[in-house]
């Protein structure tokens, strides 16, 4: 592959993720960067709107008294499906040979099947039906998200991955927060909300692959499939690949801390803060407050990490900020406390997401199976968004209150910072 500094104007197949040295972001590379934002937003709108708002309301309508336990059950089953789907999706896309490339067919198919599954959730009226539909949503959209995450190491030079990661991370948080806002606005018509989310994602994903075509993968060599080797991908070997292990662990811990609280935000506002039925109207306010910090931190920290050639310090700072944010509503269980938490956590999580994605792409074990490796890494991102509410539900049910979630989440966030420190291949 060429290492020319004009990679941004090359045919997509000559834009190599392993390219070293300064590379200007222009031409096809700039277009890819621009499309990263709306594409990530479209997917994370779902993860923002469904688990914490629309799904939570559906489950609450079935049985108000058992809402926390039922949400924990449905979230746990969905999380297990997501954990399996991510690496499978990555492996399948690595081995796909088509004239549209390795990733595009699965991204579009996942968005289509996931959208239909969302519509099915809207028609469900029992816990079993909702659970089955949610599992299908998890599997299908992970077949979109996994291959999408592999595009960065596939086609983005290392020297500008911090900038790409910043836009991807901003898209993640804009989608997550925007999903909370959109979900709260559609709370009175949950089936319509699912249809709107399905349509947005399918349209945006399709436009992404049309305007950012990959080169044909037909004729590319393909390693023989080994079931044993594939099953080993679910285990991050700390001896063989210590940096990959620590990067995975750091992301898993911090995401768990963050989503343990945000996944139960609606129930917290109702019962812990004491807003009752009016709680849903405050979700957009908290989302907008968080959004300000996310945008500022994402746009600044990603490019700064590229400029200084450092990743870990930004991740550590982000983890400490998130822990500090979680302390506020624990000592001040008021709406003001939640507003302060939203502002500080937005800055912390925006900084983390912007830089951590770039860090992860630099510690992948394989130089060829990006999709499979990132599928495993994305377990650390996707799993907490669905599993953390399940864990949080167990804590709430066992200890009888939402306040206990905050110190537990703080510990997870700080441990996430500690886990990043042993990484040696990235500064």
pLDDT at 9: 36
What Å distances lie between residue 296 and 299, 346, 351, CA to CA?
6, 9, 9
Structural domain boundaries of the chain? 26-216+236-420
pLDDT at 38: 92
Query: Which residues lie closer than 8 Å to 131 by C-beta, 6 or more apart?
Result: 73, 74, 77, 78
pLDDT at 4: 34
pLDDT at 13: 39
Between CA 232 and CA 372 the distance in angstroms is 11
Q: What angle do CA 384, 163, 375 make, to 5 degrees?
A: 35
pTM value is: 0.73
Q: What is the 3-state secondary structure (H, E, C) of 122-156?
A: HHCCCHHHHHHHHHHHHHHHHHHHHHHHCHHHHHC
CATH superfamily for domain 26-216+236-420: MFS general substrate transporter like domains (1.20.1250.20)
Contact criterion met (CB below 8 Å) for 186 and 46: no
What Å distances lie between residue 339 and 184, 265, 290, 393, 420, CA to CA?
17, 12, 8, 23, 29
With tokens 């592999």, the residue in question is: 150
pLDDT digits (tens, 9 = 90+) for 246-281: 888 888 888 888 888 877 788 889 888 999 888 888
With tokens 């910043």, the residue in question is: 166
Q: How many residues does the chain have?
A: 427
- What tokens were used for 360? 């992860």
pLDDT at 111: 95
CA atoms within 13 A on the CB side of 133: 22
- What tokens were used for 343? 């502002």
Contact criterion met (CB below 8 Å) for 81 and 139: yes
Query: Which residues lie closer than 8 Å to 380 by C-beta, 6 or more apart?
Result: 248, 249, 251, 252, 255
Contact criterion met (CB below 8 Å) for 184 and 284: yes
* CB-based burial, 351-364: b 16+ in 10 Å, e otherwise: bbbbbbbbbbbbbb
Strand, coil or helix: 401: coil
- What tokens were used for 204? 């945006």
- What tokens were used for 295? 């945008």
Instruction: Give the chain's residues under pLDDT 50.
Output: 1-15
Contact criterion met (CB below 8 Å) for 14 and 20: no
Nearest CA among 272, 287, 316 for reference residue 413: 316
Widest Cα–Cα separation across the chain: 63
pLDDT at 382: 64
């Amino acid at each position: 592959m060429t290492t020319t500094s004009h990679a941004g104007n090359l045919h997509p197949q000559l834009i190599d993720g392993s390219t070293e040295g300064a590379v200007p972001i222009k031409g096809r590379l700039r277009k890819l960067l621009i499309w990263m934002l709306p594409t990530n937003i479209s997917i994370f709108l779902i993860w923002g709107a469904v688990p914490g708002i629309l799904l939570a309301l559906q489950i609450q309508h079935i049985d108000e008294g058992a809402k926390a336990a039922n949400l924990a059950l449905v979230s746990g089953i969905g999380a297990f499906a997501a954990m399996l789907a991510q690496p499978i999706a990555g492996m399948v896309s690595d081995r796909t040979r088509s004239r549209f490339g390795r990733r595009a067919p699965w991204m579009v198919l996942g968005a289509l099947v996931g959208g239909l599954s969302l519509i099915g959730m809207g028609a469900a009226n029992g816990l079993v039906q909702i659970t089955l539909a949610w599992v299908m949503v998890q599997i299908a959209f992970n077949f979109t998200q996994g291959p999408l995450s592999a595009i960065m190491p596939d086609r983005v030079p290392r020297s500008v991955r911090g900038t790409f990661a910043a836009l991807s991370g901003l898209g993640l948080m804009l989608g997550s927060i925007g999903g909370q806002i959109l979900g709260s606005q559609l709370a009175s018509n949950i089936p319509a909300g699912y249809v709107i989310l399905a349509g947005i994602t399918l349209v945006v994903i399709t436009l992404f692959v049309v305007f950012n075509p990959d080169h044909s993968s037909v004729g590319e060599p393909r390693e023989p499939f080994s079931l044993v080797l594939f099953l080993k991908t679910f285990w991050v070997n700390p001896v063989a690949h210590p940096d990959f292990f620590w990067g995975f662990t750091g992301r898993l811990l911090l995401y768990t801390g963050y989503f343990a609280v945000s996944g139960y935000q609606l129930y917290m506002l109702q019962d812990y803060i004491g807003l009752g039925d009016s709680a849903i109207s405050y979700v957009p306010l908290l989302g907008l407050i968080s959004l300000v910090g996310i945008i500022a931190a994402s746009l600044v920290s990603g490019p700064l990490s590229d400029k200084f050639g450092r990743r870990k310090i930004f991740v550590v700072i982000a983890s400490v900020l998130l822990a500090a944010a979680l302390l506020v509503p624990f000592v001040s269980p008021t709406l003001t406390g939640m507003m302060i938490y939203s502002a500080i956590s937005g800055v912390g999580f925006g900084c983390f997401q912007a830089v951590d994605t770039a860090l992860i792409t630099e510690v992948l074990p394989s130089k060829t199976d990006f999709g499979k490796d990132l599928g495993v890494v994305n377990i650390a991102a996707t799993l907490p968004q669905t599993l953390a509410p399940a864990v949080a539900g167990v804590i709430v049910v066992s200890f009888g209150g939402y306040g206990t979630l905050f110190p537990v989440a703080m510990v997870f966030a700080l441990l996430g910072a500690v886990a990043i420190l042993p990484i040696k291949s990235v500064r």
